[in-house]
Amino acid sequence: YDITGVVSFIKEHFDNFSETGLGCFMSRDSALNRTPDGNLCITSSITLAPFDLGVNQKFGLRSVASEIDGIDEVMIRLERTSGQPKDWKRLNKAFLDNLRQQFLIWRSIEKEVMETYRNRTLTILGEQNA
């Protein structure tokens, strides 16, 4: 249940970083979908700050069932598309810390707000009940 709202919350965060010059990354072409096996996923093209280093990557986040019933795990895949490997590893520390902070913020928001994000995900996926 929770992951349904989390993905819209994270996508909104990425959408807020679509302009160069703010924060530790810039996001382009963020999309929320389902994988062929039905799991929720977010994909995006990410440029890491400082932007003049030209470090770009493909980002993927997907939910997978865990061994605990009703609990999903989040798997993240980062694929460097440009920039030096050393810079990519170093700059991703700030990016991943920023992403981790979003998950911590999610845990602190009110249930009504979580439900709003959950409904947003279902609407994006065309699964919202009429």
Please, which pLDDT band fits residue 129 given cuts at 50, 70 and 90? low
- Residue 130 is predicted with a pLDDT of 45
List, for residues 15-72, the tens digit of each pLDDT value: 999 986 678 999 999 999 999 999 999 999 999 999 999 999 999 999 998 888 878 8
The enclosing H or E element of 72 equals strand 72-82
User: Dihedral angle at the C-alpha atoms of 115, 43, 31, 81, nearest 10 degrees?
Assistant: 150
User: pTM of this prediction?
Assistant: 0.91
- DSSP string for residues in 12-70: HHHHTT-STTSSSEEEEEEEEEE-TTS-EEEEEEEEESSGGG--EEEEEEEEEE-SSTT
pLDDT one-digit tens code per residue, 94-110: 999 999 999 999 999 99
